[in-house]
């Protein structure tokens, strides 16, 4: 939470917009590692191609 606050404060100062994948991947307060029975990470820190498709709505919204 502290890091997220630092990022958001910095973005406000610079007039930037942030995108937070936690809004999609951690909706229940616990982040998912599988979706519909398939893993969404290719390693500990990087989404697989399947996993990154879950973020498509976030990027589409950012373009509006």
The whole-chain average pLDDT of the chain stands at 93
How confident is the model at residue 4, as a pLDDT? Answer: 87
Q: Which residues pair with 41 in a beta bridge?
A: 47
pTM of the model: 0.75
Predicted confidence band at 44 (pLDDT cuts at 50, 70, 90)?
Answer: confident
Q: Give the pLDDT confidence of 5-31 residue by residue, as tens digits.
A: 999 999 999 999 999 999 999 999 899
Between CA 49 and CA 52 the distance in angstroms is 5
Pairing of strands 34-35, 38-39: antiparallel
How confident is the model at residue 2, as a pLDDT? Answer: 93
How confident is the model at residue 38, as a pLDDT? Answer: 96
């Amino acid at each position: 939470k502290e890091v997220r606050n630092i990022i958001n404060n910095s973005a406000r100062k610079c007039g930037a917009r942030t995108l937070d994948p936690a809004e999609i991947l951690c909706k229940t307060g616990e982040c998912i590692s599988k979706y519909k029975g398939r893993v969404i990470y290719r390693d500990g820190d990087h989404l697989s191609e399947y996993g990154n498709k879950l973020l498509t709505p976030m990027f589409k919204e950012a373009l509006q």
